[in-house]
Amino acid sequence: MNKGIRNTVASLAVIVVGIFALQFWLYSRDQVLNDDQLKSMNAVMFASPRNIQPFQLQDQDGQTFVANDFRGHWSIINFGYTNCPDICPTNMMLLGQVARQLEEQQKPMPQVYMVTVDPARDTPELLKGYVSYFNPEFKALSGDESVIASLARQLNNLFSRAPGGDDDVYFVDHSDNMAILNPEGQFVGIFRPPHKLSDLTTVLADLMAR
């Protein structure tokens, strides 16, 4: 085989290897979900990120937590309270299952925050025990009710104390939207109810791969 033929064969071999490598990458990489796919899984991503106004709350360890603390990682914000009889524990259990599934798939999980809508009863100590039951990595936020209400409105959530009850025994009506924050600490989308394990896992895996 002369030198020209050898060079041609070598070049063809490089091209073939490159084609196979590209096909493997296209096949194996996580596909980015489009808007219609996201909506079918009750996820809505905004056209433009929305900044969160400055605030100050407390985390489950009693430490000051401000808006900038959302930076550096993807976040899921779930509003609820420890005395909630149904929606809140269901959502937290679901997010715990999502975390386990993503861990099994060797994929990262966003930081989960439960923001209480009942700060009068939900102390940092109580919240710490509550969220850690579902996953030791989950965090909780509490503080002044007016500050929480402002943050909730910014993240497409509302809450109010239900009629009836007394100072110690009462319920809180609240939205069931889970807010999605990007690593810049910006509000970029929501999960709308009903929340499903497969949908949450698929969408979060997609977002974390972007």
Q: Mention every residue, 6+ apart, whose C-beta is less than 8 A from residue 146.
A: none
Q: How many CB atoms lie within 10 A of CB 199?
A: 17
DSSP state of 192: P
**Contact between 137 and 108 (Cβ < 8 Å):** no
Q: Residue 71 and residue 63: Cα distance in Å, rounded?
A: 17
208: which 2 tokens?
């974390």
174 in a known ligand binding site: yes
Question: Exposed, middle or buried, 126 (CB in 10 Å: 0-12/13-18/19+)?
Answer: middle
Residue 124: its H or E element:
helix 124-134
Q: Residue 57 and residue 144: Cα distance in Å, rounded?
A: 7
Q: Report phi then psi at 28, rounded to 5.
A: -90, -20
Which residues make up each annotated binding site?
84, 88, 174
Which residues make up each annotated binding site for Cu cation?
84, 88, 174
